[in-house]
Amino acid sequence: MSILSKILSIWREDSLLRRVLKNSSYLFSSSTIGMGLAMVQSILAARLLGVAAFGLLGMVMSFATSINRLLSFRIGELVVKYGGEYLSQGKKDRASATLKAAALTEISTSLSAYILLYIFAPLAAEYIIKDPAATLFIRFYALALLSNFVTGTSAALLQIGDHFRSQAAIALAQNIITASIITYAYFTDGDIWLILTAYLAGKVFFGFSLGFWGMRRAKEMLGHGWMRSPFNLLPPKKEFWSFAFSSNFSGTVNLVTRDSEVLWLGFLLPGEVGKIAAGYYKTALAIINLILMPINPFIATTFPEISRAVGEKAWDKLKTLLKRLTTISAAWTLSVSLFLLVAGEWLISLFYGAEYAPATPAALILLLGFGTANILYWNRPLLLSLGMPTYPLKVMAFAGVAKILLSFLLVPRFGYLAQAALMSAYFVVSVGLIVWKGMREIKQRAEARK
């Protein structure tokens, strides 16, 4: 059988894979264009601001995002798991109660995050960014949090309802708005305020648009009175809130160990040195996003399908799906990694400018860790679907603590390259252990059913 015939045969027979790829295609189309626009934004902002100011921009945005994520509860995962299960069982009243609890929780955490960010902005400016001017930047960009009042809830609802086209369109429009303003700033010699305005405008549009569309779809899927569903229809309190808090704590671990790298550089390195290091690291991450962005849509579309397969105890079907998805993600990741390995320095110097060339080694080091996580992107959704949310949390926590301790030892001495190496090691170890546990659990459950 030829390769083409085999592919066509798999496509016809595997309805689960077909549904994942179909839904991913909407987000993939949007993210492919968005990837190009994001690169344009990054390149123009970097050229306009210079390395140090570009690093300052990265730290300001990262701090605001970090406070938001600290309180976010990763509410979308809760909606996908419980709301998706109830809808598949025809229990719309219970799904409505889940959505209502998630939406109200998200609204309160968005307000709390904004207040905390406003209060702690001066401390962040003094001790992390080491620039008093950053206080106003942080408070200004923090306005984006108020627009994210039901973003996670709405996105999850659209996912379980297979409404991916609207989500993709909103994300694309956000990128167009931000890229347009940054392009204007570049050609009119704008400053960091205009760049922050560009990112803020995109965030505000995305938050309000997704919230409006999600609530509209909620009425269609659950009925007009879904907000009146009583909370006694929620899953058992201990189970429900345990899942929510474990997801939140998992997000906090990721935040501290993985998603605040430019802030750690600012904290561990002195003033201007920290800004420059953050500028190089932010550039390296922008390049790495070339690998991540096309696969990211699969995360949103795979989680509901994995949950359905686990609910049906279709273990062979699940293993086949994971194997085929891994093949797809590996083919993309390895191809782009090879290209960046050969042409990474040329790309950075050409587009960002020669002053950003030192970002190349960091990007190549990060390839190993981010590439591993990208290929095995389904690792945590698998364990969440298997009802094992604490195992990834423990693995990430222990690996994260080791990474942070080593950061205090190595980063002040070796700078941003040490940070990149520790980041890659963290991914390889944590993702490897989570995948091993997930596959072992599937094997045991499949054998127990025989």
Across the range 315-335, mean pLDDT stands at 87
pTM greater than 0.85 (yes/no): no
Of 55, 302, 265, which Cα lies nearest the Cα of 164? 302
Q: What is the DSSP letter of 355?
A: G
Q: Tell whether the model's pLDDT for residue 7 goes beyond 50.
A: no
Quick: pLDDT tens for 35-67: 778 888 999 999 999 999 999 999 999 998 888
Contacts of 95 (CB under 8 A, 6+ apart): 82, 83, 86, 87, 221, 222
Q: Which residues lie closer than 8 Å to 386 by C-beta, 6 or more apart?
A: 310, 438, 441, 442, 445
User: What are the pLDDT digits (tens) for 69-109?
Assistant: 777 666 777 777 777 777 777 788 888 888 888 888 888 88
All structural domains of the chain with their residue ranges: 3-449
d(C-alpha 42, C-alpha 426), whole Å: 26
Whether residue 301 is predicted with pLDDT greater than 90 in this model: the reply is no
Check residue 4 and give its pLDDT: 43
CA 297 to chain centre: 10
CB contact at 8 A, 143 and 97: no
Distance CA 324, CA 362 (A): 31
DSSP string for 401-448: HHHHHHHHHHHHHHTHHHHHHHHHHHHHHHHHHHHHHHHHHHHHHHHH
CB 264 within 8 A of CB 256: no
